[in-house]
Structure 1
Amino acid sequence: MHIKPITAQYDAHIRTIIEAVGAEFGAVGDGFGPSDREVQAMSQHYCIEQGSQYFIAVEHGQIMGGGGIKPFLNSAKTCELCKVFLLPAARGKGAGKKLTQTCLDFARQAGYTQCYLDTLSEMTSAIRLYEHLGFKHRDTPMPGVIHTGCDVWMELTL
């Protein structure tokens, strides 16, 4: 599995993956990441100059998923791990761990000191991965969260 920054040529592929995996777990409509406008062209919404980056996981030339880091509410110190979605064929192979670790490495290099994420309780494998990487559960979402459909909130000191 190869992890690399997204480029415009992969926008349609990752949009399809985000929407399909979101639907698989019931993350459809307002309040869920797959309905965010940025999903239409991820490469245009994540750029190093703005403290963000979206990565894709590629296996044998095929995109298997992606995940990104962006500032949380324009914070210089807190980022958000967002839109980590993998096709079923990529799960259980270490792709999620490699992708998430790449995102966290980018966050540290960008100078963030805290990382926040929100997800769904149905995404049990992802939650176990985040716990393994050191994320701690929060009782409530961080103020200003737009993904009101999520019911699991976590944070990590970087």
Structure 2
Amino acid sequence: MALPGNTSIRPIHLDDDAAMAAIIRTVMPEFGATGCGFAISDPEVDWMSRAYAEPRHAYFVVERDGRVIGGAGVAPLAGDDGDTCELRKMYFLPEARGSGAGAAMMAACLEAARSFGFRQCYLETLTGMDAAMRLYERSGFRRIDGPMGATGHGGCNTFYLLDLASP
């Protein structure tokens, strides 16, 4: 998918960590996601490049005119058998929303998940993140009744799963 202007998606670098931490800490409160049980309190937020350098992990940033404006990644779902990954920490500043960056980011994450051999992709979100939920559903995710794995995101209340064998 072509992105507008000087916008691109690329793997996260060490010098992107502060920008992504600031984005996550800016976006989460916008949707009422503060305190324990949300990414905002996750210590990995401050060192994303290192956290996603592990095997079967990938994190990408959206960059426009040399400035990081969002990101998302995949990693093995904690507490699972290894066949399922989790779409993690997908957050965009308002200026990135509605530009096609979400769909392009989703494609990059799902391509990485498939290349790592995952069979399913799971995600957690919360009521009120309506645009994100529409993106998930357009991408083939289906709602499931409850949480999977051991993510530690006790504040989330909406859960999705995607069969990665389907394009």
Q: TM-score, normalised by structure 2?
A: 0.91
Counterpart in the other structure of 2:112: 106
Taking only aligned residues, the RMSD between alpha carbons, in angstroms, comes to 1.1
Aligned length: 157
Distance, in Å, in 2 between the alignment partners of 1:138 and 1:114 is 13
Counterpart in the other structure of 1:21: 27
One-letter code aligned to 2:102:
G
Counterpart in the other structure of 2:57: 52
Counterpart in the other structure of 2:49: 43
What's the CA shift for 1:155? 0.4
- Structure 1 residue 153 corresponds to structure 2 residue 167: no
Provide, for residues 2-31 of structure 1, a one-character-per-residue CA deviation record: whole Å limited to 9, x for no partner: 111101101000000011001111111110
Q: Percent identity?
A: 45
Distance, in Å, in 1 between the alignment partners of 2:51 and 2:33 is 21
Counterpart in the other structure of 2:73: 68
Distance, in Å, in 2 between the alignment partners of 1:86 and 1:29 is 20
1:34–1:83: 8 Å Cα contact kept in structure 2? Answer: no
Distance, in Å, in 1 between the alignment partners of 2:37 and 2:60 is 23
Distance, in Å, in 1 between the alignment partners of 2:72 and 2:23 is 11
What's the CA shift for 1:62? 1.1
What's the CA shift for 1:76? 2.4
Counterpart in the other structure of 1:131: 137
Provide, for residues 13-61 of structure 1, a one-character-per-residue CA deviation record: whole Å limited to 9, x for no partner: 00000110011111111101121110011001002x5210110000111
Please, which runs of 5 or more residues in structure 1 have no aligned partner?
Answer: none
One-letter code aligned to 1:110:
F
Q: Secondary structure at the match of 1:50?
A: coil
Q: Secondary structure at the match of 1:140?
A: coil
2:77–2:149: 8 Å Cα contact kept in structure 1? Answer: no
Distance, in Å, in 1 between the alignment partners of 2:85 and 2:47 is 20
Please, which runs of 5 or more residues in structure 2 have no aligned partner?
Answer: 1-6
